[in-house]
């Protein structure tokens, strides 16, 4: 059986880049030199420092099964062994509405060296990845972005937003539920297994989450080799009244050198399987002595925190796009999720030369399950492929998309079908 790692390189893009005397090929992670050159290129592409050898090797051995690396090489460069462009992609499980998941092609590590930019290399790589995803049977592709201006042209659109929150803790009095369990300090090693089990237990709760392990999980814990910030991290686990772990938080403290009572907490992760654990961990963070501010990155848009303290305005919020989705196989993608209300919606998708194009009859039964088929019936609404990407997880309203002109027709009906009762959320970068 062909797997994502041995699936051949996309011939169309390979030939297109060969016209520029560039070689697009798979990188072999079992070959330390081949992998190291690719990893140095990717790190350089993201403006990072040159990684030490042990970090390069740890990344190589920490790759999860199915991770595919692609490099573009320029034989005329002074350093012809280091790729001038990179991607890495792998199959993951994307949570969709209905507490279920769909196979998704995670696209990451997209870089083109500044010496080779704006000559179509990224386009060749992205086109290749989308064709590869389709060939491997992934109905959607997903990514998180450095710049939100790049990926719309490839049919991706924001489907899950996220928030940075800053809490001015001196203004906070806890009014939420009184936690019944306990907070324990633990080491990252103590959290490695139990923390991952907690992450897995909540994964199906929010559309937009993806399965992750290996390096992506180690990075959350500061356990990735070469993580220069690791020594600054603190780890707490929340156990319920029966002593069962139900959540954890990873944070760091920063001192104000001019005033010891003005420490800042930066919260890197807070994952809870119960409201009790959620309240217990947040309350622990907000009531710490010598701390005036807690800043948290990548929090859900429907975080209950502000309803658990007496001063709503003690929390400042900055919202941004986070998970971008590209629908590649409309029937497979749309039947993978469930829908809020029964009935039929005929949706025309405008995707010039793209795989989502067509008019699709979406028939939702009483249980919220859909059958989706191509149809010649008149459409109730029309959407661009990017609008479909935003609709897919149920977090962006059709009314909003209608205002942008990317959706026309009966937006209320589209909303009645597509909206999710749970706001989509992805808790990591990848
Ligand atoms: C973003 C990046 C990969 C683009 O590579 P590239 O080879 O220069 O891109 P291409 O020449 O193939 O351009 C493809 C299209 O994207 C557009 N584009 C490229 N980079 C863009 C950017 N940063 N912002 C907006 N549009 C961009 C091009 O104008 C072109 O548009 P068009 O074909 O519709 O006219 C490259 O600049 C890079 O490595 N940046 C730093 C790392 C990074 O941010 N990677 C993205 C990770 S999510």
Instruction: Domain of residue 396: give its range.
Output: 326-418
For residue 46, which atom of ligand 1 is closest to its CA? 42
Helix H or strand E segment including 310:
none
Once rounded to an integer, what is the mean pLDDT over residues 390-419? 98
Specify the 3-state DSSP secondary structure of 81: coil
Q: Find all residues with CB under 8 Å of 303, minimum gap 6, and list them.
A: 163, 165
CATH number for 71: 3.40.630.30
217 & 260 share domain: yes
Question: Beta strand pairing status for 100-112 and 85-96?
Answer: antiparallel
Once rounded to an integer, what is the mean pLDDT over residues 338-356? 97
Q: Find all residues with CB under 8 Å of 270, minimum gap 6, and list them.
A: 247, 248, 249, 250, 278, 281, 282, 285, 296, 299
43 & 128 share domain: yes
CATH number for 384: 3.30.1050.10
Residue 150 domain-assigned (yes or no)? no
**Distance, CA of 226 to chain centre:** 23
Q: At 18, give phi and psi (nearest 5°).
A: -60, -30
Which of 116, 138, 160 is the endpoint of a domain? 138
Counting ligand 1 atoms within 8 A of each CB, the residue from 83, 84, 112, 121 with the most, and so the one to mutate, is: 112
| Rounded-to-integer distance, Cα 145 and Cα 430, Å | 9
Q: At 119, give phi and psi (nearest 5°).
A: -135, 25
Kindly tell me if the per-residue pLDDT of 228 is higher than 90: no
How far is the CA of 225 from the CAs of 228, 391, 428, in angstroms?
Answer: 9, 38, 18
288 & 179 share domain: yes
Q: Ligand 1 mean position to 117 CA, how many Å?
A: 7
336 & 246 share domain: no
Residue 319 domain-assigned (yes or no)? no
The pLDDT tens digits of the residues spanning 407-420 come to: 999 999 999 999 99
For residue 112, which atom of ligand 1 is closest to its CA? 39
Which of 310, 336, 370 is the endpoint of a domain? 310
302 & 340 share domain: no
Residue 392 domain-assigned (yes or no)? yes
Residue 3 domain-assigned (yes or no)? no
Q: Ligand 1 mean position to 219 CA, how many Å?
A: 26
Q: Which two tokens stand for residue 34?
A: 């081949």
196 & 83 share domain: no
Counting ligand 1 atoms within 8 A of each CB, the residue from 83, 84, 120, 122 with the most, and so the one to mutate, is: 122
Residue entry with tokens 């699709």: 360
Please tell me if the CB atom of residue 147 comes closer than 6 angstroms to any atom of ligand 1.
Answer: yes
The pLDDT tens digits of the residues spanning 96-106 come to: 999 999 999 99
Residue 66 domain-assigned (yes or no)? yes
For residue 124, which atom of ligand 1 is closest to its CA? 12
201 & 286 share domain: yes
* 177 burial via Cβ count (<10 Å: 0-12, 13-18, 19+): middle
306 & 183 share domain: yes
Q: Which two tokens stand for residue 146?
A: 């450095």
Residue 1 domain-assigned (yes or no)? no
| Rounded-to-integer distance, Cα 157 and Cα 145, Å | 10
- Number of domains observed in the structure of the chain: 3
The pLDDT tens digits of the residues spanning 33-82 come to: 999 999 999 999 999 999 999 999 999 988 777 899 999 999 999 999 99
| pLDDT on residue 43 | 97
117 & 83 share domain: yes
Kindly tell me if the per-residue pLDDT of 2 is higher than 80: no
185 & 306 share domain: yes
Q: Ligand 1 mean position to 156 CA, how many Å?
A: 14
115 & 195 share domain: no
Please tell me if the CB atom of residue 193 comes closer than 6 angstroms to any atom of ligand 1.
Answer: no
Beta bridge partners of 361: 346, 373
pLDDT tier, 326 (very low <50, low <70, confident <90, very high otherwise): very high
- Is pTM, for the whole model, over 0.85? yes
Contact 162, 301 (CB under 8 A): yes
Count other C-beta atoms under 10 Å from residue 379's C-beta: 18
Residue 75 domain-assigned (yes or no)? yes
Q: What is the sign, positive or negative, of the torsion defined by CA atoms of 355, 24, 53, 47? A: negative
Which of 112, 138, 164 is the endpoint of a domain? 138
Residue 96 domain-assigned (yes or no)? yes
219 & 109 share domain: no
| Rounded-to-integer distance, Cα 90 and Cα 235, Å | 29
Q: At 127, give phi and psi (nearest 5°).
A: -55, -40
The pLDDT tens digits of the residues spanning 96-132 come to: 999 999 999 999 999 999 999 999 999 999 999 999 9
How far is the CA of 359 from the CAs of 206, 386, 388, 397, in angstroms?
Answer: 29, 15, 12, 20
């Amino acid at each position: 059986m062909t797997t994502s790692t041995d699936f051949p390189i996309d011939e169309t893009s390979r030939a297109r880049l060969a016209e520029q005397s560039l070689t697009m090929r798979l990188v072999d992670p079992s070959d330390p030199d081949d992998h190291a050159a690719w990893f140095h290129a990717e790190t350089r592409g993201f403006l990072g420092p040159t990684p030490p050898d042990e970090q390069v090797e740890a990344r190589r051995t920490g790759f999860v099964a199915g991770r595919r690396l692609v490099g573009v090489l320029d034989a005329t460069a002074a350093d012809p062994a280091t790729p001038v462009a990179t991607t890495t992609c792998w199959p993951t499980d994307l949570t969709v509405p209905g507490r279920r998941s769909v196979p998704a092609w995670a696209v990451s590590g997209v870089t083109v060296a500044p010496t080779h930019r704006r000559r179509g290399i990224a386009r060749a790589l992205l086109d290749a990845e989308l064709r590869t995803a389709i060939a491997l049977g992934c109905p959607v592709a997903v990514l998180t972005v450095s710049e939100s201006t790049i990926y719309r042209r490839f049919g991706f659109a924001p489907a899950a937003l996220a928030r940075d929150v800053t809490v001015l803790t001196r203004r906070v009095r806890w009014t939420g539920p009184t936690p019944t369990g306990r907070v324990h300090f633990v080491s990252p090693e103590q959290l490695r297994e139990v923390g991952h089990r907690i992450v897995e237990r909540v994964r199906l709760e929010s559309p937009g989450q993806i399965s992750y392990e290996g390096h992506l999980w180690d990075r959350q814990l500061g356990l990735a080799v070469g993580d220069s910030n690791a020594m600054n991290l603190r780890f707490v686990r929340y156990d319920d009244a029966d002593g069962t772990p139900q959540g954890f938080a990873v944070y760091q403290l920063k001192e104000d050198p001019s005033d010891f009572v003005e420490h800042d907490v930066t919260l890197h992760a807070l994952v809870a399987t119960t409201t009790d654990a959620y309240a217990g961990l947040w309350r622990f963070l907000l009531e710490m002595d010598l701390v005036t501010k807690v800043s948290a990155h990548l929090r859900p848009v429907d975080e209950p925190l502000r309803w658990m303290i007496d001063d709503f305005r003690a929390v400042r919020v900055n919202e941004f796009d986070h998970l971008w989705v590209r629908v590649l196989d409309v029937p497979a993608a749309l039947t993978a999720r469930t829908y809020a209300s029964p009935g039929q919606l005929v949706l025309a998708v405008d995707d010039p030369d793209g795989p989502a194009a067509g008019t699709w009859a979406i028939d939702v039964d009483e249980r919220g399950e859909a059958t989706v088929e191509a149809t010649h019936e008149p459409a109730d609404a029309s959407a661009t492929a990017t609008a479909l990407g935003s609709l897919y997880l149920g977090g962006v309203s059709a009314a909003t998309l209608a205002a942008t002109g990317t959706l026309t027709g009966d937006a209320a009906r589209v909303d009645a079908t597509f909206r999710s009762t749970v706001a989509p959320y992805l808790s990591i970068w990848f």
